[in-house]
Every structure is written in structure tokens, then in C-alpha cells.
Amino acid sequence: MCAASATARSSSTGGSPTACLRCSNWESSVARGNPRHPQWRRLDVRDARRTESFGVVVVGGGQAGLAMGYHLQRLGLEFVILDAAARVGQSWREHWDSLRLFTPARYDCLPGMPFPAAANSFPTKDEMADYLEEYARRFALPVRSQTRANRVARDGDRYLVECGDAIFRTTEVVIATGAHAIASIPGLAAEVDTEVLQLHAQDYRNPAQLRPGPVLVVGAGNSGAEIAMEAAAAGHETWLAGRTVGHIPSRAYAFGGRIFWLIANHVVSRRHPLGRRLLAKMASRGGPLIRLTIDDVTASRVQLASRVEGVSQGRPRLADGRVVAANSIVWCTGFSQDFSWIDAGLVEAPGFHLVGMPFQYKLASAFVGGVGSDAGRIARRISAARKRRGRANHLPALSSSHEKVTPGKAL
């Protein structure tokens, strides 16, 4: 895991504070949407829904959505941020107790507000959650909490964002929910003996959850490595299964991490040939270990194992034929994408934008400290488009209004 966007749609960008780089197909996932859903083609809104109109609607109130709001505010654009969580930063609070960002605090800030910690320290997940909450408060960003977007649809030259009993109309919609929504667990998990405790990384909090005895952590990326080391430190015989993903060399962290940050923002990008090659590699293997190496893992008494290929007598079987008699399994196998709430075909439509996606422009696109520049780029694009339409800053504010929707109108 690295210091990236919270990836689950439940609250922000992304349900995880990770930059899972196994994501080269998120563009096609957004484009596909879910036109086959039985309610998708004829969703009758009639006139019972409260409707509000804004120049820009941002869906997702994590770091990507907040950075977007900062830039929209500076450009004088009227906007609202919709977030499903009850509290800004909630998705960060829900991750395992010992989680720290993998980038120094100097690079963990959003535009306009430094992170309140020593520059070379590594913030905890709760410190990051508190930072985001304070950021929204300091800039008075219009976050609507407990407002889940259930659907985004096109209606003429506008978008309709459906949120329960409310509909938000806009000419510009920004999806800032990230690419990670659904925990991905291999189907073979269903064959494991029911006496074995199984957790996905998103449900893991600390070693106290684990049953006495051996632990198998599946997935050798950053989250898997950290959780395995923690389990071993708690006295469990611990196995880490999966193909090793390599690591970022320690020299990249020289000069307070400045070299790494330069590479993450300007070298490993979609514009750079090296960046495009690395993207293809990361899409198939996952991102490299950050701030630790596989030697650190083995030095923590974690035993490395080949990948899990099946189940024998209720226990996981490795590719080399060994069966691991684990009493607990932690699946650090990433997340799948869920954009079924977005109508198909919108990704190329005018006024539809995404921010905070892994490798959207560069490696740092989904990092807390990297999403701000992407958000600024998109905000300027929105401002320019609105000026071209001759409507900059002039959509009527209808907060708390009850504009009627034409009876029988289908989204």
C-alpha cells in the first residue's frame, strides 16, 4: 500500500488509502457502466424528488474530492461535494490500526495546507483522517455528508446525479471516488475449512483478530507485507504468499524523498515512455514495495511462499504443492472496480471528469500529495469550458430549493 486515495465509493476516492496499481483497465470500467440493470433505462423520478442545480457536482469527499473543491473555489465556480460517509476522512479511519502512509508528511498535503507533522515523519491513518476533516473545515468546502450517489445519468446537456430522495443537476460532474470499491477475494476461499478465520485486508484491524496459530497472508504487495510483519511480531508463525513485486530503491528516498517525488510526478507518467512501460508492468504485477523491502519482511520472521493455487483438505495449497495449515488467512488481494452506478457511455461526454484515479496522469495521481495538481488541471478545464459556453459562475444556486422535475421524466 502507498499513500494514495481512499478507493471505496462508500466515502471518497477510493475505499482504501492505497495506490493499487493493478488498474490499467479503470477507463474501460467507467466507460462500460451498467446499462443492463433492470432499473437503469426507466428510472421514474416524477416530481417527488428534491432537485438542486450547481455549476459542478463532485462525487466523493476524500482527498481527491477535497482537492477538486479547493481549486473550484479558487476559480469562483459554484459546486457541491457529495459524500456517502457520515464524516470527512472516514475511509481512512476504517483501515488497520497501525497503518502509516508510505510517503513523508511533506508530500502528504493537499493544496493550500501543509500537513501538520514533521516533514520526514510518516503520518498515521487517523492523522490523515483528521487532516482531511480540518482541510474541509478550514476552506469551508461544501461537503454534503451521508449523501450517496446512486446513479449518474445524462439528460440533454446536463447530468443528473441521483442521491436517494434528491437529484442534483449540473453541466459538469467530477467523479472523485477512486477505483477501489469491492474487496477482491479468490473463489477458492469458499473451499477453505470453515474453522479457518478469513479476512480481507479491508476488514483487518490488528493481530488480536487472528486465531492462535499459523497465519497465511495472501498477496505480497505493501499491505500484505505490512500485515504479515505485524502478525509475526505478535508471535504468529506467518507465511506471505504471492509473487514478489520488487521495491523502490532506498536511494530514491535521498534528500528527504525529493528524488522519489520527482520520479513519481514527472518521470513515471503517461507522457513518458518509461512511465508507460512501468504502468504495463504494474498492471500485471502490482506496485512495488515502498519504504520496505522483501529482506525487511524475512528479517521479521515471515516465511515467503509461492502463490496459492488451490485448497487441499480445507487448507490452502501453494503452487509448489505445500499445504499451509493456517488457522487464519488475510487476503491482501486488492479490490475490483464498481462503476455500475454510472450510465454507460459517459466517459467521453462533455462535462464528465474523473480525478484521483491510479496513474490517471502519473504515478502520484492517486497519492494524497499528487492529486492536487491533477485536480487543478481539471478545474481549469471546467472553468474554460464554462467560459466558452458563456455561463461561467452564473448557474443559479438552488440550495434548499424544490425545483420540479417533469412528471414521468425518465433518467
pLDDT for position 263: 75
CATH number of 26-181+336-388: 3.50.50.60
pLDDT for position 274: 75
Which residues fall within 8 angstroms of residue 205, CB to CB, at 6 or more apart?
Answer: 96, 97
Which residues fall within 8 angstroms of residue 264, CB to CB, at 6 or more apart?
Answer: 362, 363, 364, 367, 370
- Are 17 and 116 in contact, with CB atoms under 8 Å apart? no
- CATH number among 3.40.1160.10, 3.40.50.300, 3.90.1150.10, 3.50.50.60, domain 185-247+288-333: 3.50.50.60
Residues 149 and 163: their CA atoms lie apart, in Å, by: 5
Is 185-247+288-333 the same fold as 26-181+336-388? yes
CA dist 262 to 56, 139, 259, Å? 32, 28, 5
pLDDT for position 174: 98
- pTM attached to this predicted model: 0.81
pLDDT for position 278: 72
Which residues fall within 8 angstroms of residue 220, CB to CB, at 6 or more apart?
Answer: 240, 241, 242, 243, 244, 245, 294, 304
Where exactly are the structural domains of the chain? 26-181+336-388, 185-247+288-333
User: Which set of grid coordinates corresponds to residue 86?
Assistant: 457520515
- Are 23 and 357 in contact, with CB atoms under 8 Å apart? yes
pLDDT for position 365: 85
10-residue block means of pLDDT along the chain (411 residues)? 37 34 48 49 57 97 98 98 97 95 92 96 96 98 97 94 95 88 91 97 97 97 95 98 78 69 76 74 67 92 96 96 97 87 91 90 86 96 90 47 39 41
Residues 236 and 217: their CA atoms lie apart, in Å, by: 11
User: Which set of grid coordinates corresponds to residue 111?
Assistant: 493544496
pLDDT for position 172: 97
pLDDT for position 284: 56
Listed in sequence order, the DSSP H helices in 234-370 are: 254-262, 273-285, 294-299
DSSP letter string, 78-129: -EEEE-SSSSTTHHHHTS-TT-B-SS-GGGS-BTTB--SS-TT---BHHHHH
- AA identity, residue 400: S
pLDDT for position 202: 94
Residues 408 and 411: their CA atoms lie apart, in Å, by: 10
